[in-house]
Chain A
Amino acid sequence: MADLSVNIAGVHFKNPIIAASGTIGFGHEYSEFYPLSVFGGISCKGTTLKERPGNPPPRIAETPMGMLNAVGLQNPGVEHFIKEDLPWLKQQDTVAIANVAGSTREDYCRMAEILSETDIDMIELNISCPNVKEGGVQFGTSCESVAAITKAVRAYCKKPLIIKLSPNVSDIASIAKAAESEGADAVSLINTLTGMRIDINTRRPIITNITGGMSGPAVFPVAVRMVWQVKNAVSIPVIGMGGVTTWKDAVEIMMAGADAVQIGTALFTDPYSPVKIAEGLNSYLDAHGMKSVTELTHTVITG
Protein backbone atom coordinates (compact mmCIF):
# COMPACT_ATOMS: atom_id res chain seq x y z
CA MET A 1 0.00 0.00 0.00
CA ALA A 2 1.83 3.07 -1.26
CA ASP A 3 1.35 6.56 0.15
CA LEU A 4 -0.96 8.43 -2.21
CA SER A 5 -0.90 11.70 -0.27
CA VAL A 6 0.51 14.88 -1.76
CA ASN A 7 1.17 18.35 -0.45
CA ILE A 8 0.22 21.23 -2.68
CA ALA A 9 1.20 24.67 -1.40
CA GLY A 10 1.07 23.53 2.21
CA VAL A 11 -2.30 21.79 1.85
CA HIS A 12 -2.43 18.06 2.53
CA PHE A 13 -4.37 15.93 0.02
CA LYS A 14 -5.00 12.28 0.95
CA ASN A 15 -4.60 11.40 -2.72
CA PRO A 16 -3.63 13.41 -5.82
CA ILE A 17 -7.06 13.13 -7.44
CA ILE A 18 -9.08 16.34 -7.54
CA ALA A 19 -12.47 16.82 -9.17
CA ALA A 20 -12.14 19.47 -11.89
CA SER A 21 -14.18 22.64 -11.66
CA GLY A 22 -17.40 22.69 -13.65
CA THR A 23 -17.87 18.94 -13.74
CA ILE A 24 -19.04 18.23 -10.21
CA GLY A 25 -20.97 21.34 -9.17
CA PHE A 26 -20.44 21.79 -5.44
CA GLY A 27 -20.30 18.04 -4.89
CA HIS A 28 -23.88 17.31 -3.83
CA GLU A 29 -24.85 15.14 -6.81
CA TYR A 30 -21.75 12.94 -6.90
CA SER A 31 -21.99 12.44 -3.13
CA GLU A 32 -25.03 10.33 -4.10
CA PHE A 33 -22.66 7.89 -5.85
CA TYR A 34 -19.96 7.64 -3.15
CA PRO A 35 -18.55 9.63 -0.24
CA LEU A 36 -16.71 12.67 -1.62
CA SER A 37 -13.76 11.62 0.54
CA VAL A 38 -12.70 9.40 -2.38
CA PHE A 39 -11.29 12.64 -3.85
CA GLY A 40 -8.14 14.26 -2.51
CA GLY A 41 -9.90 17.53 -3.26
CA ILE A 42 -12.79 19.12 -5.09
CA SER A 43 -12.55 22.23 -7.21
CA CYS A 44 -16.03 23.68 -7.09
CA LYS A 45 -18.08 25.06 -9.98
CA GLY A 46 -16.71 28.45 -11.05
CA THR A 47 -18.35 31.14 -8.99
CA THR A 48 -18.71 34.81 -9.72
CA LEU A 49 -19.39 37.81 -7.51
CA LYS A 50 -23.03 37.91 -8.57
CA GLU A 51 -25.30 35.10 -9.73
CA ARG A 52 -24.98 34.22 -13.44
CA PRO A 53 -27.75 32.58 -15.51
CA GLY A 54 -25.39 30.82 -17.95
CA ASN A 55 -25.63 30.47 -21.73
CA PRO A 56 -28.73 29.48 -23.73
CA PRO A 57 -28.92 25.77 -24.68
CA PRO A 58 -27.69 23.64 -26.34
CA ARG A 59 -24.58 23.90 -24.22
CA ILE A 60 -23.10 20.47 -25.02
CA ALA A 61 -21.81 18.73 -28.13
CA GLU A 62 -19.95 15.47 -28.43
CA THR A 63 -16.65 15.30 -30.31
CA PRO A 64 -14.49 12.34 -31.25
CA MET A 65 -13.29 11.06 -27.84
CA GLY A 66 -14.41 14.21 -26.12
CA MET A 67 -16.98 16.94 -25.84
CA LEU A 68 -17.57 20.66 -26.12
CA ASN A 69 -19.32 22.66 -23.46
CA ALA A 70 -20.43 26.24 -23.19
CA VAL A 71 -22.29 26.30 -19.90
CA GLY A 72 -21.25 29.90 -19.39
CA LEU A 73 -20.48 29.94 -15.66
CA GLN A 74 -24.05 29.41 -14.50
CA ASN A 75 -23.74 29.78 -10.73
CA PRO A 76 -25.62 31.25 -7.78
CA GLY A 77 -22.88 33.71 -6.81
CA VAL A 78 -20.07 33.52 -4.29
CA GLU A 79 -22.14 34.54 -1.25
CA HIS A 80 -24.64 31.76 -1.94
CA PHE A 81 -21.78 29.29 -2.30
CA ILE A 82 -20.29 30.35 1.04
CA LYS A 83 -23.62 30.20 2.85
CA GLU A 84 -25.31 27.18 1.27
CA ASP A 85 -22.60 24.87 -0.06
CA LEU A 86 -19.30 25.45 1.69
CA PRO A 87 -20.35 24.40 5.22
CA TRP A 88 -21.59 21.08 3.86
CA LEU A 89 -18.54 20.58 1.64
CA LYS A 90 -16.21 21.20 4.57
CA GLN A 91 -17.71 18.17 6.30
CA GLN A 92 -16.95 15.80 3.42
CA ASP A 93 -13.33 15.00 4.35
CA THR A 94 -11.83 16.36 1.13
CA VAL A 95 -9.91 19.53 0.30
CA ALA A 96 -12.36 22.27 -0.72
CA ILE A 97 -11.15 24.53 -3.52
CA ALA A 98 -13.13 27.56 -4.64
CA ASN A 99 -12.88 28.34 -8.35
CA VAL A 100 -13.49 32.02 -9.03
CA ALA A 101 -14.11 33.92 -12.27
CA GLY A 102 -14.80 37.57 -12.92
CA SER A 103 -15.15 40.29 -15.49
CA THR A 104 -12.94 42.89 -13.79
CA ARG A 105 -9.82 42.84 -11.71
CA GLU A 106 -11.90 44.25 -8.86
CA ASP A 107 -14.28 41.25 -9.06
CA TYR A 108 -11.40 38.82 -8.61
CA CYS A 109 -9.90 40.81 -5.75
CA ARG A 110 -13.23 41.17 -3.99
CA MET A 111 -13.95 37.43 -4.24
CA ALA A 112 -10.46 36.56 -2.98
CA GLU A 113 -11.05 38.93 -0.06
CA ILE A 114 -14.46 37.43 0.75
CA LEU A 115 -13.29 33.82 0.43
CA SER A 116 -10.20 34.50 2.53
CA GLU A 117 -12.54 35.08 5.49
CA THR A 118 -14.11 31.61 5.10
CA ASP A 119 -12.69 28.18 5.85
CA ILE A 120 -12.21 27.30 2.17
CA ASP A 121 -8.88 25.48 1.80
CA MET A 122 -7.63 26.97 -1.48
CA ILE A 123 -8.64 29.38 -4.21
CA GLU A 124 -8.27 28.54 -7.89
CA LEU A 125 -8.31 31.61 -10.09
CA ASN A 126 -10.16 30.88 -13.31
CA ILE A 127 -8.62 33.20 -15.89
CA SER A 128 -9.28 30.75 -18.67
CA CYS A 129 -13.02 30.19 -19.16
CA PRO A 130 -13.47 30.24 -22.94
CA ASN A 131 -17.26 30.43 -22.89
CA VAL A 132 -18.07 33.80 -21.38
CA LYS A 133 -16.87 37.12 -22.77
CA GLU A 134 -16.34 38.39 -19.26
CA GLY A 135 -15.23 34.99 -17.91
CA GLY A 136 -11.71 36.04 -17.25
CA VAL A 137 -9.91 34.67 -20.28
CA GLN A 138 -8.88 38.22 -21.19
CA PHE A 139 -6.74 38.08 -18.06
CA GLY A 140 -5.24 34.74 -18.97
CA THR A 141 -3.76 35.03 -22.44
CA SER A 142 -0.71 37.27 -22.04
CA CYS A 143 2.18 37.24 -19.60
CA GLU A 144 1.53 40.87 -18.66
CA SER A 145 -2.16 40.37 -17.88
CA VAL A 146 -1.54 37.14 -15.93
CA ALA A 147 1.17 38.84 -13.90
CA ALA A 148 -1.10 41.82 -13.22
CA ILE A 149 -4.16 39.80 -12.12
CA THR A 150 -2.03 37.46 -9.98
CA LYS A 151 -0.34 40.41 -8.27
CA ALA A 152 -3.64 42.18 -7.67
CA VAL A 153 -5.41 39.13 -6.24
CA ARG A 154 -2.40 38.08 -4.19
CA ALA A 155 -2.74 41.28 -2.19
CA TYR A 156 -6.23 40.22 -1.07
CA CYS A 157 -5.87 36.45 -0.98
CA LYS A 158 -4.91 34.89 2.35
CA LYS A 159 -5.47 31.34 1.06
CA PRO A 160 -3.15 29.25 -1.10
CA LEU A 161 -3.67 30.58 -4.61
CA ILE A 162 -3.82 28.39 -7.72
CA ILE A 163 -3.87 30.05 -11.15
CA LYS A 164 -5.77 27.97 -13.71
CA LEU A 165 -4.21 28.38 -17.13
CA SER A 166 -5.71 28.46 -20.59
CA PRO A 167 -4.20 26.25 -23.30
CA ASN A 168 -5.37 28.73 -25.93
CA VAL A 169 -2.10 30.64 -25.82
CA SER A 170 1.17 30.58 -27.77
CA ASP A 171 3.54 29.98 -24.84
CA ILE A 172 1.98 28.48 -21.73
CA ALA A 173 5.33 28.11 -19.92
CA SER A 174 5.95 31.87 -19.97
CA ILE A 175 2.44 32.48 -18.68
CA ALA A 176 3.00 30.04 -15.82
CA LYS A 177 6.25 31.83 -14.97
CA ALA A 178 4.42 35.14 -14.95
CA ALA A 179 1.93 33.74 -12.42
CA GLU A 180 4.74 32.30 -10.30
CA SER A 181 6.68 35.55 -10.31
CA GLU A 182 3.73 37.45 -8.84
CA GLY A 183 3.07 35.04 -6.01
CA ALA A 184 0.95 32.14 -7.29
CA ASP A 185 1.28 29.15 -4.98
CA ALA A 186 0.47 26.65 -7.75
CA VAL A 187 -0.78 26.49 -11.32
CA SER A 188 -3.41 24.17 -12.76
CA LEU A 189 -3.73 23.28 -16.42
CA ILE A 190 -5.18 22.81 -18.93
CA ASN A 191 -8.57 24.45 -19.09
CA THR A 192 -10.53 23.50 -22.22
CA LEU A 193 -9.38 24.09 -25.78
CA THR A 194 -11.71 26.32 -27.74
CA GLY A 195 -13.59 24.30 -30.35
CA MET A 196 -16.65 24.33 -32.60
CA ARG A 197 -19.05 21.85 -34.20
CA ILE A 198 -21.58 22.45 -36.98
CA ASP A 199 -24.75 20.49 -37.71
CA ILE A 200 -24.32 19.82 -41.45
CA ASN A 201 -28.07 19.48 -41.98
CA THR A 202 -28.99 22.84 -40.51
CA ARG A 203 -25.61 24.57 -41.13
CA ARG A 204 -25.88 25.89 -37.59
CA PRO A 205 -23.35 25.49 -34.81
CA ILE A 206 -24.49 22.71 -32.44
CA ILE A 207 -23.79 24.92 -29.44
CA THR A 208 -25.80 28.16 -29.26
CA ASN A 209 -22.70 29.97 -28.00
CA ILE A 210 -21.14 28.92 -31.38
CA THR A 211 -17.83 27.91 -29.77
CA GLY A 212 -17.23 25.83 -26.67
CA GLY A 213 -14.49 24.37 -24.55
CA MET A 214 -13.19 20.98 -25.64
CA SER A 215 -12.35 18.35 -23.05
CA GLY A 216 -12.07 14.59 -22.74
CA PRO A 217 -9.53 11.98 -23.87
CA ALA A 218 -8.90 13.78 -27.17
CA VAL A 219 -7.12 16.66 -25.42
CA PHE A 220 -4.97 14.47 -23.18
CA PRO A 221 -1.75 14.56 -25.27
CA VAL A 222 -1.99 18.37 -25.39
CA ALA A 223 -2.34 18.43 -21.60
CA VAL A 224 0.65 16.12 -21.11
CA ARG A 225 2.79 18.32 -23.36
CA MET A 226 1.76 21.55 -21.63
CA VAL A 227 2.17 20.15 -18.12
CA TRP A 228 5.67 19.03 -19.07
CA GLN A 229 6.56 22.45 -20.51
CA VAL A 230 5.20 24.26 -17.47
CA LYS A 231 6.90 21.97 -14.97
CA ASN A 232 10.19 22.59 -16.74
CA ALA A 233 9.66 26.33 -16.30
CA VAL A 234 8.38 26.77 -12.73
CA SER A 235 9.19 25.49 -9.27
CA ILE A 236 5.71 25.84 -7.75
CA PRO A 237 3.38 22.77 -7.78
CA VAL A 238 1.62 21.93 -11.03
CA ILE A 239 -1.86 20.43 -11.03
CA GLY A 240 -2.36 18.58 -14.30
CA MET A 241 -5.66 18.03 -16.06
CA GLY A 242 -7.14 17.60 -19.51
CA GLY A 243 -8.64 14.31 -20.62
CA VAL A 244 -7.36 12.21 -17.72
CA THR A 245 -9.62 9.16 -17.84
CA THR A 246 -7.74 6.13 -16.50
CA TRP A 247 -5.10 5.47 -13.83
CA LYS A 248 -2.59 5.10 -16.66
CA ASP A 249 -3.38 8.66 -17.76
CA ALA A 250 -2.86 9.83 -14.17
CA VAL A 251 0.55 8.13 -14.04
CA GLU A 252 1.48 9.63 -17.40
CA ILE A 253 0.50 13.23 -16.62
CA MET A 254 2.32 12.98 -13.28
CA MET A 255 5.44 11.72 -15.05
CA ALA A 256 5.13 14.76 -17.31
CA GLY A 257 5.25 17.02 -14.27
CA ALA A 258 1.96 17.05 -12.39
CA ASP A 259 2.02 17.02 -8.57
CA ALA A 260 -1.73 16.35 -8.51
CA VAL A 261 -4.33 15.51 -11.14
CA GLN A 262 -7.80 16.86 -11.85
CA ILE A 263 -10.50 14.61 -13.28
CA GLY A 264 -13.41 16.18 -15.13
CA THR A 265 -15.09 14.80 -18.23
CA ALA A 266 -14.19 11.23 -17.17
CA LEU A 267 -16.82 11.57 -14.42
CA PHE A 268 -19.53 11.77 -17.07
CA THR A 269 -18.43 8.59 -18.79
CA ASP A 270 -17.83 6.72 -15.55
CA PRO A 271 -18.84 8.36 -12.27
CA TYR A 272 -16.62 5.85 -10.47
CA SER A 273 -13.46 6.83 -12.39
CA PRO A 274 -11.83 8.61 -9.37
CA VAL A 275 -12.17 5.44 -7.29
CA LYS A 276 -10.70 3.32 -10.07
CA ILE A 277 -7.86 5.79 -10.69
CA ALA A 278 -6.87 5.79 -7.01
CA GLU A 279 -6.86 1.98 -6.94
CA GLY A 280 -4.88 1.78 -10.17
CA LEU A 281 -2.31 4.32 -8.99
CA ASN A 282 -1.80 2.36 -5.81
CA SER A 283 -1.31 -0.93 -7.68
CA TYR A 284 1.11 0.68 -10.11
CA LEU A 285 3.22 2.14 -7.30
CA ASP A 286 3.27 -1.18 -5.44
CA ALA A 287 4.21 -3.09 -8.58
CA HIS A 288 7.09 -0.70 -9.23
CA GLY A 289 8.32 -0.65 -5.66
CA MET A 290 7.51 3.00 -5.09
CA LYS A 291 6.57 4.13 -1.60
CA SER A 292 4.92 7.44 -2.53
CA VAL A 293 2.97 8.81 -5.46
CA THR A 294 5.23 11.86 -5.35
CA GLU A 295 7.98 9.66 -6.81
CA LEU A 296 6.16 9.81 -10.15
CA THR A 297 6.19 13.56 -10.61
CA HIS A 298 8.31 14.91 -13.44
CA THR A 299 10.20 11.67 -13.96
CA VAL A 300 9.81 11.46 -17.71
CA ILE A 301 13.14 10.57 -19.32
CA THR A 302 13.78 12.83 -22.29
CA GLY A 303 17.56 12.51 -22.61
Chain B
Amino acid sequence: MKYDAQDCKLVFAQKLTPTIYDFRLQNSALAAITKPGQFVQVLVPGKTLRRPVSVCDVQDDTIRLVFEVRGEGTAIMAETKVGESINIIAPLGKGFILDPGKKTAFIGGGIGVPPMLYSAKKCGSNAVVINGFRNKDAVILSEDFEKAGCRLIVTTDDGSFGIHGFVTQPLAEIIDEVEMICACGPTPMLRNIAKMAAEKGVPCQVSLEQRMACGVGACLGCAVAVKTEDGSTCYKHVCKDGPVFNSEEVAW
Protein backbone atom coordinates (compact mmCIF):
# COMPACT_ATOMS: atom_id res chain seq x y z
CA MET B 1 0.00 0.00 0.00
CA LYS B 2 1.42 3.32 -1.09
CA TYR B 3 -0.81 5.60 1.00
CA ASP B 4 -1.71 5.66 4.65
CA ALA B 5 -3.35 8.07 7.06
CA GLN B 6 -1.55 7.98 10.39
CA ASP B 7 -1.61 9.75 13.71
CA CYS B 8 1.63 11.53 14.51
CA LYS B 9 2.56 12.95 17.88
CA LEU B 10 3.35 16.65 17.91
CA VAL B 11 6.70 16.70 19.69
CA PHE B 12 7.74 20.31 19.10
CA ALA B 13 5.81 23.46 18.35
CA GLN B 14 7.03 27.02 18.06
CA LYS B 15 5.64 30.28 16.77
CA LEU B 16 8.16 31.75 14.31
CA THR B 17 6.19 34.93 13.58
CA PRO B 18 2.71 36.07 14.67
CA THR B 19 1.22 33.92 11.87
CA ILE B 20 3.81 31.23 11.11
CA TYR B 21 4.14 28.03 13.13
CA ASP B 22 6.90 25.41 13.26
CA PHE B 23 5.59 21.90 14.04
CA ARG B 24 7.52 18.65 14.31
CA LEU B 25 5.51 15.45 13.99
CA GLN B 26 6.93 12.17 15.17
CA ASN B 27 6.45 9.16 12.93
CA SER B 28 9.54 7.18 12.02
CA ALA B 29 7.86 5.16 9.25
CA LEU B 30 6.58 8.22 7.39
CA ALA B 31 9.71 10.30 8.07
CA ALA B 32 11.86 7.57 6.56
CA ILE B 33 10.10 7.68 3.19
CA THR B 34 9.46 11.42 2.86
CA LYS B 35 11.43 13.14 0.11
CA PRO B 36 12.26 16.84 -0.43
CA GLY B 37 9.38 18.75 -1.98
CA GLN B 38 6.64 16.33 -1.00
CA PHE B 39 3.63 17.36 1.08
CA VAL B 40 1.24 16.00 3.68
CA GLN B 41 -2.54 16.29 4.07
CA VAL B 42 -3.38 17.39 7.61
CA LEU B 43 -6.71 16.44 9.17
CA VAL B 44 -8.23 19.46 10.91
CA PRO B 45 -10.80 18.63 13.61
CA GLY B 46 -14.23 19.87 12.52
CA LYS B 47 -13.22 20.54 8.92
CA THR B 48 -14.26 18.54 5.88
CA LEU B 49 -11.12 19.11 3.84
CA ARG B 50 -7.60 18.30 4.94
CA ARG B 51 -4.97 21.03 4.63
CA PRO B 52 -2.09 20.37 2.25
CA VAL B 53 1.22 21.44 3.83
CA SER B 54 4.64 21.08 2.21
CA VAL B 55 7.29 19.24 4.16
CA CYS B 56 9.88 21.73 5.47
CA ASP B 57 12.37 19.18 6.73
CA VAL B 58 12.85 15.65 7.97
CA GLN B 59 14.99 15.21 11.08
CA ASP B 60 15.49 11.66 12.38
CA ASP B 61 11.99 10.35 13.08
CA THR B 62 10.18 13.68 12.71
CA ILE B 63 8.53 15.51 9.83
CA ARG B 64 8.78 19.26 10.17
CA LEU B 65 5.94 21.44 8.92
CA VAL B 66 6.22 25.22 8.86
CA PHE B 67 2.83 26.68 7.98
CA GLU B 68 1.05 30.00 7.95
CA VAL B 69 -2.31 30.66 9.57
CA ARG B 70 -4.41 31.79 6.62
CA GLY B 71 -7.92 30.86 7.65
CA GLU B 72 -10.04 28.89 10.09
CA GLY B 73 -8.47 25.52 9.31
CA THR B 74 -4.87 26.54 9.81
CA ALA B 75 -5.93 28.49 12.93
CA ILE B 76 -7.32 25.25 14.40
CA MET B 77 -4.11 23.43 13.41
CA ALA B 78 -2.06 26.06 15.20
CA GLU B 79 -3.93 25.36 18.45
CA THR B 80 -2.58 21.80 18.61
CA LYS B 81 -0.51 21.27 21.76
CA VAL B 82 2.73 19.35 22.10
CA GLY B 83 1.88 15.76 23.02
CA GLU B 84 -1.36 15.74 21.05
CA SER B 85 -1.76 13.82 17.81
CA ILE B 86 -2.22 15.11 14.29
CA ASN B 87 -3.52 12.80 11.57
CA ILE B 88 -1.73 13.12 8.24
CA ILE B 89 -1.74 11.36 4.90
CA ALA B 90 1.92 11.32 3.92
CA PRO B 91 4.12 11.53 2.03
CA LEU B 92 2.26 12.79 -1.03
CA GLY B 93 3.15 14.01 -4.49
CA LYS B 94 6.31 14.22 -6.51
CA GLY B 95 9.10 16.30 -4.98
CA PHE B 96 12.17 18.03 -6.40
CA ILE B 97 14.59 16.02 -8.52
CA LEU B 98 17.94 16.97 -7.02
CA ASP B 99 21.55 16.40 -7.95
CA PRO B 100 23.61 17.33 -4.86
CA GLY B 101 26.70 17.52 -7.06
CA LYS B 102 25.28 20.41 -9.06
CA LYS B 103 25.23 24.04 -8.06
CA THR B 104 21.53 24.66 -7.46
CA ALA B 105 19.57 27.81 -6.66
CA PHE B 106 16.74 27.36 -4.15
CA ILE B 107 14.37 30.29 -4.22
CA GLY B 108 11.51 30.75 -1.77
CA GLY B 109 9.00 33.56 -1.46
CA GLY B 110 7.22 34.06 1.88
CA ILE B 111 5.57 30.83 2.99
CA GLY B 112 7.25 29.27 -0.07
CA VAL B 113 10.54 29.36 1.88
CA PRO B 114 9.94 26.37 4.22
CA PRO B 115 9.51 23.76 1.44
CA MET B 116 13.02 24.61 0.20
CA LEU B 117 14.88 23.70 3.40
CA TYR B 118 14.94 19.90 3.13
CA SER B 119 15.86 20.19 -0.56
CA ALA B 120 18.61 22.76 0.00
CA LYS B 121 20.09 20.66 2.81
CA LYS B 122 20.57 17.82 0.35
CA CYS B 123 22.79 20.09 -1.73
CA GLY B 124 24.66 21.64 1.22
CA SER B 125 27.42 23.94 0.03
CA ASN B 126 26.24 23.55 -3.56
CA ALA B 127 23.01 25.32 -2.64
CA VAL B 128 22.54 29.03 -3.25
CA VAL B 129 19.43 29.99 -1.32
CA ILE B 130 17.48 33.15 -2.06
CA ASN B 131 14.65 33.80 0.37
CA GLY B 132 12.27 36.71 -0.15
CA PHE B 133 9.96 38.18 2.49
CA ARG B 134 7.65 41.18 2.91
CA ASN B 135 9.72 42.72 5.67
CA LYS B 136 12.21 42.03 8.46
CA ASP B 137 9.55 40.65 10.81
CA ALA B 138 8.56 37.99 8.31
CA VAL B 139 12.06 36.55 7.86
CA ILE B 140 12.23 32.90 8.94
CA LEU B 141 14.54 29.87 8.89
CA SER B 142 17.76 31.77 8.07
CA GLU B 143 19.75 29.88 10.73
CA ASP B 144 18.53 26.54 9.39
CA PHE B 145 19.73 27.27 5.87
CA GLU B 146 23.06 28.59 7.17
CA LYS B 147 23.54 25.57 9.42
CA ALA B 148 23.06 23.34 6.35
CA GLY B 149 26.07 25.02 4.76
CA CYS B 150 24.07 26.81 2.08
CA ARG B 151 24.98 30.25 0.77
CA LEU B 152 22.04 32.41 1.91
CA ILE B 153 20.74 35.61 0.36
CA VAL B 154 17.69 37.32 1.90
CA THR B 155 15.55 39.97 0.25
CA THR B 156 12.69 42.04 1.66
CA ASP B 157 10.08 43.96 -0.31
CA ASP B 158 10.52 47.05 1.89
CA GLY B 159 14.26 46.83 2.39
CA SER B 160 13.99 46.42 6.16
CA PHE B 161 16.35 43.43 5.99
CA GLY B 162 18.83 42.10 3.44
CA ILE B 163 18.55 43.19 -0.16
CA HIS B 164 15.76 45.69 -0.90
CA GLY B 165 13.65 44.13 -3.63
CA PHE B 166 12.44 40.84 -5.03
CA VAL B 167 14.24 37.49 -5.23
CA THR B 168 14.69 37.93 -8.98
CA GLN B 169 17.30 40.67 -8.41
CA PRO B 170 19.93 38.47 -6.73
CA LEU B 171 18.90 35.61 -9.02
CA ALA B 172 19.94 37.69 -12.01
CA GLU B 173 23.40 38.03 -10.46
CA ILE B 174 23.94 34.34 -9.70
CA ILE B 175 21.95 32.65 -12.45
CA ASP B 176 25.06 32.10 -14.61
CA GLU B 177 26.68 30.16 -11.75
CA VAL B 178 23.89 27.58 -11.29
CA GLU B 179 22.93 24.45 -13.19
CA MET B 180 19.46 24.06 -11.70
CA ILE B 181 16.78 26.25 -10.11
CA CYS B 182 14.16 25.08 -7.60
CA ALA B 183 11.49 27.54 -6.52
CA CYS B 184 8.35 27.87 -4.42
CA GLY B 185 6.28 30.98 -3.78
CA PRO B 186 3.60 33.26 -5.21
CA THR B 187 2.68 32.59 -8.85
CA PRO B 188 3.96 35.96 -10.23
CA MET B 189 7.35 35.23 -8.61
CA LEU B 190 7.47 31.72 -10.06
CA ARG B 191 6.42 32.98 -13.47
CA ASN B 192 9.27 35.53 -13.48
CA ILE B 193 11.81 32.95 -12.32
CA ALA B 194 10.62 30.52 -15.00
CA LYS B 195 11.08 33.22 -17.62
CA MET B 196 14.61 34.03 -16.47
CA ALA B 197 15.51 30.33 -16.36
CA ALA B 198 14.18 29.80 -19.87
CA GLU B 199 16.15 32.78 -21.20
CA LYS B 200 19.36 31.41 -19.69
CA GLY B 201 18.62 27.80 -20.51
CA VAL B 202 18.80 26.73 -16.86
CA PRO B 203 16.49 23.84 -15.90
CA CYS B 204 13.90 25.02 -13.39
CA GLN B 205 11.50 23.17 -11.11
CA VAL B 206 8.62 24.95 -9.41
CA SER B 207 6.44 23.81 -6.51
CA LEU B 208 2.82 24.87 -7.08
CA GLU B 209 -0.22 25.08 -4.84
CA GLN B 210 -3.91 24.82 -5.57
CA ARG B 211 -7.10 24.30 -3.61
CA MET B 212 -7.18 20.58 -3.02
CA ALA B 213 -9.57 17.89 -1.81
CA CYS B 214 -8.46 14.23 -1.91
CA GLY B 215 -4.68 14.82 -2.13
CA VAL B 216 -4.03 11.58 -4.02
CA GLY B 217 -5.19 12.24 -7.59
CA ALA B 218 -8.70 10.81 -7.46
CA CYS B 219 -11.00 13.83 -7.34
CA LEU B 220 -9.16 15.99 -9.91
CA GLY B 221 -9.83 19.13 -7.87
CA CYS B 222 -6.36 20.71 -7.80
CA ALA B 223 -5.95 21.32 -11.52
CA VAL B 224 -3.01 23.14 -13.07
CA ALA B 225 -2.81 24.01 -16.77
CA VAL B 226 0.19 22.49 -18.52
CA LYS B 227 1.38 22.61 -22.11
CA THR B 228 0.97 19.59 -24.35
CA GLU B 229 3.19 18.51 -27.23
CA ASP B 230 0.79 19.84 -29.87
CA GLY B 231 0.96 23.34 -28.36
CA SER B 232 -2.41 23.26 -26.62
CA THR B 233 -2.94 22.92 -22.86
CA CYS B 234 -4.44 20.29 -20.62
CA TYR B 235 -4.95 19.96 -16.87
CA LYS B 236 -2.63 18.02 -14.61
CA HIS B 237 -3.03 17.86 -10.84
CA VAL B 238 -0.89 19.40 -8.11
CA CYS B 239 -1.41 16.51 -5.69
CA LYS B 240 -0.33 13.62 -7.90
CA ASP B 241 1.55 15.04 -10.91
CA GLY B 242 3.16 17.70 -8.67
CA PRO B 243 3.41 19.67 -6.50
CA VAL B 244 6.77 20.07 -8.28
CA PHE B 245 6.60 20.68 -12.03
CA ASN B 246 9.17 21.46 -14.68
CA SER B 247 8.69 25.20 -15.20
CA GLU B 248 8.65 24.80 -18.98
CA GLU B 249 5.71 22.44 -18.70
CA VAL B 250 3.49 24.93 -16.85
CA ALA B 251 1.13 27.04 -18.96
CA TRP B 252 1.85 30.31 -17.12
Contacts and interface: CB of A to CB of B under 8 A. Distances in A.
B86 interface: no
Given A62-B48, A216-B48, A56 B225 contact: yes
B240 A29 contact: yes
Interface string B1-38: 11111000000000000000000000000000000000
A122 to B, nearest CB: 20
Nearest to A75: B220
Nearest to A272: B5
Contacts of B234: 53
Contact of A32 (B211, B216, B222, B235): B216
Q: How would you classify the secondary structure of chain B's contact residues: helix, strand, loop or mixed?
A: loop
Interface centre among A206, A265, A269 (most CB of B within 10 A): A269
A54 interface: yes
A270 B43 contact: yes
A150 B212 CA distance: 35
Contact of A57 (B3, B5, B47, B223): B223
B214 interface: yes
B219 A69 contact: yes
B235 A53 contact: yes
Nearest to A54: B235
Interface string B33-73: 00000000001000111100000000000000000000001
Nearest to A206: B211
Given A22-B219, A69-B221, A34 B1 contact: yes
A61 B48 contact: no
A57 B215 CA distance: 15
B181 to A, nearest CB: 24
B178 interface: no
Q: How large is the interface on B (under 10, 10 to 19, 20 to 34, 35 or more residues)?
A: 20 to 34
B110 interface: no
B224 interface: yes
A67 B3 contact: no
Interface centre among A24, A28, A45, A268 (most CB of B within 10 A): A268
Contacts of A29: 3, 214, 216-218, 240
Contacts of B50: 268-269
B210 interface: yes
Interface string B146-161: 0000000000000000
B209 to A, nearest CB: 10
A1 interface: no
Contacts, number: 104
B90 interface: no
B49 to A, nearest CB: 5
Contact of A59 (B73, B223, B240): B223
A287 interface: no
A69 to B, nearest CB: 6
Interface centre among B3, B210, B224 (most CB of A within 10 A): B3
A74 B220 CA distance: 8
A32 to B, nearest CB: 4
Nearest to A34: B1
A71 B219 contact: yes
Contacts of B211: 57-61, 206
B206 interface: no
A301 interface: no
B213 A69 contact: yes
Contact of A33 (B4, B210, B221): B4
Contacts of A269: 43, 47-50
Contact of A74 (B73, B212, B235): B235
Interface in A234-289: 265, 267-272
A25 interface: yes
A23 B2 CA distance: 18
A300 to B, nearest CB: 26
Nearest to B224: A57
A30 interface: yes
A267 B223 contact: no
B89 interface: yes
A183 interface: no
Nearest to B49: A62
B22 to A, nearest CB: 24
Contacts of A221: none
A221 B209 CA distance: 33
Interface in B79-107: 89
A66 interface: yes
A265 B49 CA distance: 9
Given A23-B219, A63-B48, A271-B5, 5 more contacts: A24-B218, A33-B3, A57-B211, A74-B223, A272-B5
What are the 8 closest A-B residue pairs judged by CB atoms, nearest first? A32-B2, A25-B218, A60-B211, A60-B221, A29-B218, A57-B223, A29-B216, A58-B211
Interface of B: 1-5, 43, 47-50, 73, 89, 210-225, 234-235, 240
9 contacts: A25-B217, A54-B235, A57-B224, A74-B220, A265-B48, A268-B49, A268-B213, A269-B48, A271-B216
